[in-house]
Amino acid sequence: MTYTDKVRENRARRAAQRQGYQLIKSSRRDPRAIDFGKWWLVDPSTTALVFTDEWGASLEEIEEWLYRPFDVDHSRR
């Protein structure tokens, strides 16, 4: 993992925390595993998935979702 990757990861974790979510990284170490390198955005109070499915998403997809602007009614577009 490069320094830049770690910075992006920490920034995404902080953004998720500010929005009341928890960012979880797959613990798989086998690159052939279907969820290797994947991420989940979870509501910590209910452990429900907020963004993505059970197979996870890339860090880029998570960042894109976290940094999207809110609509006027304060819901995600």
Mean pLDDT by 10 residues, the chain (77 residues): 90 96 93 91 94 90 90 53
Nearest to 12 by CA among 54, 67, 50, 51: 67
How far is Cα 14 from Cα 29, in angstroms, rounded to an integer?
24
Rounded CA separation 33/63 (Å): 22
Give the integer Cα–Cα distance in Å for 33 and 46: 27
Residue 53's domain comprises 3-66
Q: Classify residue 40: in a domain, yes or no.
A: yes
- Using alpha carbons, select from 62, 4, 64, 68 the residue that is nearest to residue 37: 62
In a domain, 71, yes or no: no
56 found inside a domain: yes
In a domain, 74, yes or no: no
**Domain tally for the chain?**
1
> For residue 76, is it within any domain?
no
pTM over 0.95: no
- Look at residue 45 in the predicted model and tell me its pLDDT: 95
Please indicate, yes or no, if residue 35 is contained in any of the structural domains. yes
